[in-house]
């Protein structure tokens, strides 16, 4: 007497969970890269503005504090700022700068720094601020 064996189901790969996992990983990587690009400046108390736009494609960041300034994390003196900026932007066609200035910085101090930036040939300056 011949017995009928139940046929075993064939193994198959489910595509929907695979697609869900791939999109989740993509979102995590994109979010991580965007959050890393914004935090290039040193921690200072920024002024607030309701019309803040984040510009992420500028190559340099300058942090101006009451007691000094840092260019991409390295301390630089005001007298050396124009030369340091010119050295850092030597190979760029249209160099840009993220400017993080402390809230309590005087107007004159800020314009002194901006004069040095202009002397280095940088015309694209993005002044950073926090949302209120």
Where along the chain do its domains lie? 60-127
With beta carbons less than 8 A apart as the criterion, state whether 81 and 93 touch.
no
CATH of 60-127, one of 3.30.420.270, 2.60.120.10, 3.40.50.1970, 3.40.50.1360: 3.30.420.270
Using one digit for the tens of pLDDT, what is the confidence trace for 41-72?
Answer: 556 666 666 766 665 555 788 889 888 888 88
> What are the strands, taking DSSP E only, across the chain?
60-65, 68-71, 74-76, 96-101, 124-127
Q: Are 13 and 95 in contact (CB under 8 A)?
A: no
pLDDT at 22 over 90: yes
Span 67-95, mean pLDDT?
85
pTM (global) more than 0.75: no
Q: What percent of the chain has pLDDT over 90?
A: 9
Tell me what pLDDT residue 94 has.
Answer: 77
Q: Return mean pLDDT, the chain.
A: 81
β-strand 96-101 against 68-71: which pairing, if any?
unpaired
């Amino acid at each position: 007497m011949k017995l009928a064996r139940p046929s075993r189901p064939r193994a198959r790969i489910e595509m929907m969970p695979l697609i869900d996992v791939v999109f989740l990983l993509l979102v995590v990587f994109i979010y991580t890269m965007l959050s890393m690009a914004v935090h290039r400046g040193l921690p200072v108390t920024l002024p607030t503005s309701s019309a803040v736009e984040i510009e992420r494609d500028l190559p340099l960041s300058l942090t101006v504090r009451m007691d000094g300034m840092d260019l991409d994390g390295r301390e630089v003196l005001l007298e050396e700022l124009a030369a340091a900026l010119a050295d850092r932007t030597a190979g760029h066609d249209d160099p840009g700068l993220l400017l993080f200035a402390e809230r309590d910085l005087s107007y004159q101090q800020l314009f002194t720094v901006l004069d040095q930036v202009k002397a280095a040939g940088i015309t694209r300056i993005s002044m950073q601020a926090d949302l209120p």
